[in-house]
Amino acid sequence: MSGRISSWSARHMQALLSSAGHLVRSPLATILTLLVMALALAMPLGLLTLVQNTRSATGDFSGAIGMSVFLKSGVAEAKAQQLTGSLRARGDVSAAELITAEQALAEFRKDSGFGAALDALEENPLPHVIAVTPVSSATPAGIESLRRYLVSWPEVETVQLDSEWVTRFNAILAVLRRVLLVAATLLGIGVIAIVGNTIRLEILNRRAEIEVTKLVGGTNAFVRRPFLYTGMWYGLMAGLTAWLIVAGALWGLSGPAASLASAYGSHFVLSPPTAAELGLLLLVGISLGWIGSWIATAVHLQRIEP
């Protein structure tokens, strides 16, 4: 049993090394094929990195959805404090802060420059306001349910919810994710076609060698093995090259991105693809290379008979 396993391992190791040797002996053709495959793999990886960095920069605006609960003018400050406390105790509320009428008037006096005009007012026209921040995991339905709950309070005049732009932003990210999926699928098919055509040409160039191998008893599975490893080599190296392309692009953009973030008071820096994403990219590249090679060999090896 161990002898059969050793023989099987030796045959596969021989096919693995011989396929690598064929690639090394044709450097120009290998490099050109790799570049085309790498660019096809780099495009969805770059788009994925763009989406990931956009989400990281904005935090999905999880804290940007807030409600301004305007209380009626006759509500006392003590009652407003009580309502604020009850909101803080809710599980769907991340934070609740009371902005009293006096605080709001003082802030308006400071920012508006109408201090003299405001001094002429006999009473404060501004109401107490409770600034409510839902939890980051709140769904649109949950936020709307919270809004209806607040509107039902007899002390509440109105509830202002400015989340429409956040919803639009998240919708744009959802579209980008769908574009990423479609692009990855189409480019994956393209990679399979590139590998398949490359292996087809390799089979035609080695037709005499294949015929001799079959004459001495070599099966289609034996002949196919080095071509499958060739496709896997292509996929592995194309994945690594695609990662280097994306990493180089991010390095070139890191300076301008940092300057832009600094202009907005942010310390955001571009993040390269993670180790898990690199591993997935290599796995996808190897799988696409194997599939393209298998299709090409399944079609063309059957046509070559001594």
Q: What is the DSSP string of 25-52?
A: HSHHHHHHHHHHHHHHHHHHHHHHHHHH
300 within 8 A of 200, measured Cβ to Cβ: yes
Q: 162 by DSSP, 3-state: which?
A: coil
DSSP 81-131: HHHHHHHHTSTTEEEEEEE-HHHHHHHHHHHHS-HHHHHT-SS--PPPEEE
Residue 62 has pLDDT above 60, yes or no: no
* Structure tokens, 254: 């890191």
Residues 29 and 50: their CA atoms lie apart, in Å, by 31
The pLDDT, as a whole number, for residue 272 is 81
**What pairs with residue 99 in β-bridges?**
129
Provide the pLDDT confidence category of residue 240 given band limits of 50, 70 and 90.
very high
Q: For strands 129-134 and 67-71, give the pairing.
A: antiparallel
Judge contact between 289 and 233, C-beta under 8 A: yes
Whether the Cβ atoms of residue 228 and residue 290 lie closer than 8 Å to each other: yes
* 126-151 mean pLDDT: 80
Confidence of residue 111 (pLDDT cuts 50, 70, 90): low
- Whether the per-residue pLDDT at 119 is higher than 60: the answer is no
Q: What is the pLDDT of residue 115?
A: 53
Among positive and negative, which fits the CA dihedral 238, 240, 246, 248? negative
Q: Which whole number is the average pLDDT over 67-94?
A: 85
Determine contact, residues 285/242, Cβ cutoff 8 Å: yes
At residue 12, what is the residue type? H
% of residues, the chain, pLDDT over 70: 79
Amino acid at 290: W
- Terminus-to-terminus CA distance in the chain, angstroms? 33
Instruction: Count the neighbouring beta carbons within 10 Å of the beta carbon of residue 235.
Output: 29
169-182 pLDDT, tens per residue?
677 777 888 888 89
Query: For residue 105, what pLDDT is reported?
Result: 66
Number of H helices, E strands in the chain: 10, 4
Mean pLDDT of the residues in the chain: 80
- State how far the Cα of 44 lies from the Cα of 188, in Å rounded to an integer: 10
Q: What is the Cα–Cα distance from 304 to 210, expressed in whole angstroms?
A: 8
Residue 85 token pair: 């406390």
> Collapsing DSSP states into helix, strand and coil, what is residue 266?
coil
Q: Is the pLDDT of residue 60 over 60?
A: no
Which whole number is the average pLDDT over 129-142? 78
What are 249-302's pLDDT values in tens digits?
Answer: 888 888 887 787 777 666 777 788 888 888 999 999 999 999 999 998 888 777
Task: pLDDT band for 189, please (50, 70, 90 cuts).
Answer: very high
**Structural domains in the chain, sorted by start:** 14-60+168-303 (no CATH), 65-162 (3.30.70.3040)
